[in-house]
Amino acid sequence: MRSLHGGTLARVRFANLPYTARVKSRIVRGVCSVALTIAAAWALRGAPAAAAPSATSNPEIACRVNFGDACSEAMGRWLARVPSPAFGEHVDRSHVEDWIIDPAGTGMDVFLGATTVYGGTRFVYGTAGPPKGFAVYDPVHRIAYYDEGCCSWHDVVVASDVGPPPKKIATRSLTGLRTATGLRLGDSILAVERVYGSSRLRRVRGQPSRRTLSYVHSFRFGVNVCQDRMTFLFDRGRLAAMDFGKAC
């Protein structure tokens, strides 16, 4: 049994009080408890809240929840981008339907029917979507080969003179890559125009030695009207990168 100097003594005294006194005691204790709660809340009102880590403040943390180690914002920045015409800008049409052929093999994007990179390392970046795909690097010839997409768009890119990726990814020789029409990195502007037709040669802002040719090809995919967009980047007159995009 506890000492009468503790909780037992308090309970005995309370039980021996008249009924009205016990009621008043309960009321007083309730009021005091509420007052203490309000006082504590008011005291904390002006105190700065502890900053909780937010997944949305760091896209890679948010990404890893669903995609694990494939997430890499650095990979998203590393991907070689081929400058494309601005939205709404006129692009010459072509009857040619083309794609990248990889001697090592190929995969297929289920939704758009686009080719995907065979044997590549998966990557995911960003929060809108997010974009995801596979990449391979040729360290000897400094060639990057990747596909990426999300929702209703998909791109396959081959680019030369690309520095090493920020993380370890699949590597192999990529010199055998070509298009279904036979175009390869290093080809001339004339070689591309022989296949696709003549087009406007566009300058690349901030890169005086570079130019692009762009074409669009419309096709049906189920009930959807979709487009192939082919952009070819030239450096000093030679094909340095190709971007084959599909969108619906």
Residue 87, pLDDT score: 62
Q: What token pair was written down for 77?
A: 């920045």
The Cα 185–Cα 233 span in angstroms is 10
Identity of residue 245: G
- Mean pLDDT lowest among 5-19, 65-79, 168-182: 5-19
Q: Name the burial class of residue 197, with classes exposed (0-12), middle (13-18) and buried (19+) by CB atoms within 10 angstroms of its CB.
A: middle
pLDDT in tens, 94-143: 989 888 999 988 766 555 556 778 899 999 998 777 889 999 999 999 99
Overall size of the chain counted in residues: 248
Q: What is the CA radius of gyration of the chain?
A: 33
Q: Name the burial class of residue 93, with classes exposed (0-12), middle (13-18) and buried (19+) by CB atoms within 10 angstroms of its CB.
A: middle
Single out the residue of 246, 233, 59, 69 nearest to residue 162, CA to CA. Answer: 233
Residue 198, pLDDT score: 93
Residue 88, pLDDT score: 65
The Cα 245–Cα 155 span in angstroms is 4
Q: What is the mean pLDDT of residues 187-193?
A: 98
- Binned at pLDDT 50, 70 and 90, residue 19 comes out as very low
Q: Is the pLDDT of residue 84 over 60?
A: yes
The reply to whether omega before 164 is within 30° of 0 (cis) is no
CA atoms within 13 A on the CB side of 6: 5
Computed over every residue of the chain, the mean pLDDT equals 79
The rounded percent of the chain whose pLDDT value lies above 90 is 48
Give the Å distances, CA to CA, from 123 to 59, 170, 225.
14, 11, 29
Single out the residue of 226, 230, 218, 246 nearest to residue 95, CA to CA. Answer: 218
Q: Are 90 and 226 in contact (CB under 8 A)?
A: no
Residue 166, pLDDT score: 97
The reported pTM is: 0.73
Q: What share of the chain is helix, strand, coil (3-state, %, to 5)?
A: 25, 30, 40
pLDDT in tens, 65-76: 878 899 999 999
